[in-house]
Structure 1
Amino acid sequence: MKNRFEGKVVVVTGAAQGIGRGVALGIAAEGGRVLLVDRAEFVTDVAAEAQGGEAVGFVADLETYEGARAMLAHAEATFGGIDILINGVGGAIRMRPYAEFEPEQIDAEIRRPLMPTLYACHAALPYLLKRGGGTIVNVSSNATRGIRRVPYSAAKGGVNALTIALAMEYAPHNIRVVASAPGGTSAPPRRVPRNALGDSAQEKVWMNEAVQQVTDSTFFKRYGTLDEQVAPILFLASDDASYITGAVLPVAGGDNG
């Protein structure tokens, strides 16, 4: 195992479950000092599972700017600064034809996948500038081309644009900004459901249609594994990718979104 993150301070959002959890534990295993951030309180339990480096859990609502600001302040207070930010917050809440979305549902689908990344990038920049450089990895999605989640697709398109524009603007300050764009990923059942209200029978039908489209669009005709999503993110965050910036890496079995 490489120790690619030895001596690095890394903030990972959405770290309580799924891809974010795997990334945070992977960074700790490679010697990183990690702040695991999520609004789910069991993120502290996940931090306790980490082996190798130092890991601390922090509870924050990253759909608010105050949450992002508190997260970065805590990272500096705990570890003395930040070298790498990995933005993992932001999944689709509902799957349905676009005409079936209510206006407030459209707003929610844009807010969750886009605003935590926008806020966290902005809040992190002063700390990275103080450090003399660093890396931001945004977890986007190949769902910029997909059915039953148009608002989510638009939000992830925004993450891609943010990644490219921010990389161009801050390259003179030695800050890299990159993104991973996962496709469908097999994962254990979520401890916190994506849709707190639950899915109706019709919504389950629409969800299955989206799953079928995602599967059929890959060359491998299968979902990826968590490990297959975590490894590229760790690469992008590490110095192994030191000459890569402004790039969005599709990790979706050939479906580039």
Structure 2
Amino acid sequence: MTPLPEPFSALSPGRFNGKVVLVTGAAQGIGQRVAERIGAEGGTVVLVDRSELAEQVADGINEHVAKNGSEGSASAVTGVDLEQFAGAELAVSETLQRHGRADILVNNVGGAILMRPFEHFDAEQIQKEINRSLFPTLWMCRAVLPTMLEAGSGTIVNVSSNATRGINRVPYSAAKGGVNGITQALAMETAGRGIRVMATAPGGTEAPPRKVQRGPGPEGEQEQAWVKDVVDQVTESTFFKRYGTLDEQAAPIVFLASDEASYMTGSVIQVSGGDMG
């Protein structure tokens, strides 16, 4: 079992009571913190991830809920490949089988695999970046849409990035630009049918070392220098000259997912210390 989450900066107890919430990429990082927070605020959370570590996170949420007496609960759907539509369909069908509905979807899967100037990406590497950071959001939106349309209500929050403008991540930037496009077009298409679609665009975020790596990591001095260039650019572009925290990223996502944001749709909210990307 993963340790219980650290105390949150602020909570709204009961804000998600009675809501069924899918969170993808929930085994670590921003997705884990979002799932923990929604569970602590009363939501029935389904953690979706390739990694079985999501099961441990769900156990930690349930222990936290029991300790604090909230109405939340958590379970996990693991081993699903959201880069394929079949994986997204499985995640949604498992949720419907367990809980009968899906009120909220938080799409968090994604992240740059390599950081290097564009001319140093080959075709296969470019395709992997797009598969990783665009298709999980696209497929999950499509998979959850029928049940939300049938219910006449639903909320989708996509986690994009302010790296749509930045160095050494052109394929990732293209994928996140696609996430922004999905957000805005789907919001316009479905608002009249009771569905809200929003996104946040996180900047650089401090997080514990990844438990499951996205790729092989930088190899050699040149690769490490390209990564450092990205870190320096991201840090210097913020007004605060620092990375954000997991709580600072999770809080806006959770707000947008809640009924408190009922008059917000179609927007991509920058959460990047003033760096508009």
The equivalent residue for 2:179 is 159
1:128-185 CA-to-partner distances (Å, cap 9, x unmatched) read 1122211000000000010010010011000001100000000011000000000000
What is the number of residues matched between the two proteins?
256
Could you tell me how far apart the structure 1 residues matched to 2:36 and 2:248 are? 15
Q: Which runs of 5+ in 2 are unaligned?
A: 1-10, 66-71
In the alignment, residue 203 of structure 1 is paired with which amino acid? E
Q: Which runs of 5+ in 1 are unaligned?
A: none
Alignment of 1:59-78 (within 5 A): 59=78, 60-78=80-98
The equivalent residue for 2:115 is 95
The equivalent residue for 2:73 is 54
Could you tell me how far apart the structure 2 residues matched to 1:38 and 1:147 are? 28
Could you tell me how far apart the structure 2 residues matched to 1:203 and 1:225 are? 26
The equivalent residue for 1:14 is 25
Give TM-score, length-normalised by structure 1.
0.98
1:198 deviates by 3.1
Q: 2:53 pairs with 42, 46, 49, which one?
A: 42
Moved more, 117-126 or 49-58: 49-58
Matched, 1:23 2:34: yes
Matched, 1:111 2:111: no
The equivalent residue for 1:132 is 152
Could you tell me how far apart the structure 2 residues matched to 1:18 and 1:186 are? 9
The equivalent residue for 2:217 is 198
What is the SS of the residue equivalent to 1:31? coil
1:111 deviates by 1.0
Give TM-score, length-normalised by structure 2.
0.91
In the alignment, residue 229 of structure 1 is paired with which amino acid? Q
The equivalent residue for 1:240 is 260
Identity of aligned residues (%): 61
What is the SS of the residue equivalent to 2:207? coil
In the alignment, residue 241 of structure 1 is paired with which amino acid? A
Could you tell me how far apart the structure 1 residues matched to 2:213 and 2:124 are? 19
In the alignment, residue 56 of structure 2 is paired with which amino acid? D
The equivalent residue for 2:6 is none
Could you tell me how far apart the structure 1 residues matched to 2:91 and 2:214 are? 22
What is the SS of the residue equivalent to 1:118? helix
In the alignment, residue 25 of structure 2 is paired with which amino acid? G
What is the SS of the residue equivalent to 1:10? strand
Provide the alpha-carbon RMSD of the alignment: 0.7
Could you tell me how far apart the structure 2 residues matched to 1:44 and 1:210 are? 33
Could you tell me how far apart the structure 1 residues matched to 2:18 and 2:217 are? 43
